[in-house]
Chain A
Amino acid sequence: ETGVTQTPRHLVMGMTNKKSLKCEQHLGHNAMYWYKQSAKKPLELMFVYSLEERVENNSVPSRFSPECPNSSHLFLHLHTLQPEDSALYLCASSQAPPPAGGYGYTFGSGTRLTVV
């Protein structure tokens, strides 16, 4: 399998639930990202991992917890979310984080999250 794969594609969870989003890439990339895409808002960068180390955290609430166990896998652990956290969560990977080489990102299809 090639590209970036995200699971699940759709997720409905209650505010007291704990769930995890999974992202997997088989491109040999060294950087991985989580983005949040809400209706009528620009894509928001949440987390950046380079060589499995977190290098960027854009003031994301602690109810979102990322994990990068190896360069091919990235998780986003969710707990006690709010309805306003409902959005499309996109994972991406690149050979290196910007601006090194200006590598483009390869995106997954996203997980559509609904918090009820």
Chain B
Amino acid sequence: AQKVTQAQTEISVVEKEDVTLDCVYETRDTTYYLFWYKQPPSGELVFLIRRNSFDEQNEISGRYSWNFQKSTSSFNFTITASQVVDSAVYFCAPTLGYNDMRFGAGTRLTVKP
């Protein structure tokens, strides 16, 4: 079955700590895309990053970085020096199959001051 797993349901850290959110997926596809979204308390999902399956180069954007390992079907997300404003639910979402962006269950991150 094609699916995505975010094993960490909730994570709590203290401000300025680094935190990594895990994402593992299963797919039969050779070409696919991977996304991360952030859902703050307001409810709207905010796009963070898109990667395609041919590009395994890790990416850094400010305090955010992503580690894509095709061999292990993982696409992990790290926040460096976390801030209270990073508190949200984070979703990993690979496109698995036609018309199917499959969302993980999400990881609720709480950053305490």
A98/B95 in contact, CB under 8 A: yes
A42/B105 in contact, CB under 8 A: yes
Cβ of B32 < 8 Å from any Cβ of A? yes
Q: For the complex, would chain B's binding face be called helix, strand, loop or mixed by DSSP majority?
A: loop
By the criterion of a CB under 8 Å from any partner CB, how many residues of chain A are at the interface?
A: 23
- The total of Cβ contacts below 8 Å across the A-B interface reads 59
B91/A43 in contact, CB under 8 A: yes
A99/B31 in contact, CB under 8 A: yes
Contacts of B101 in A (CB 8 A): 45, 98, 105
Contacts of A97 in B (CB 8 A): 98-99
B42-68 interface (Cβ within 8 A of A): 42-47, 50, 52
- Count class of interface residues, chain B: 20 to 34
B47/A102 in contact, CB under 8 A: no
Top 9 A-B pairs, shortest CB-CB distance = A102-B33, A98-B95, A43-B103, A107-B45, A109-B44, A110-B43, A104-B47, A42-B105, A56-B99
Contacts from B to A (Cβ < 8 Å):
29, 31-33, 35, 37, 42-47, 50, 52, 91, 95, 97-101, 103-106
Contacts from A to B (Cβ < 8 Å):
35, 41-43, 45, 48, 55-56, 88, 90, 92, 97-99, 102, 104-110, 112
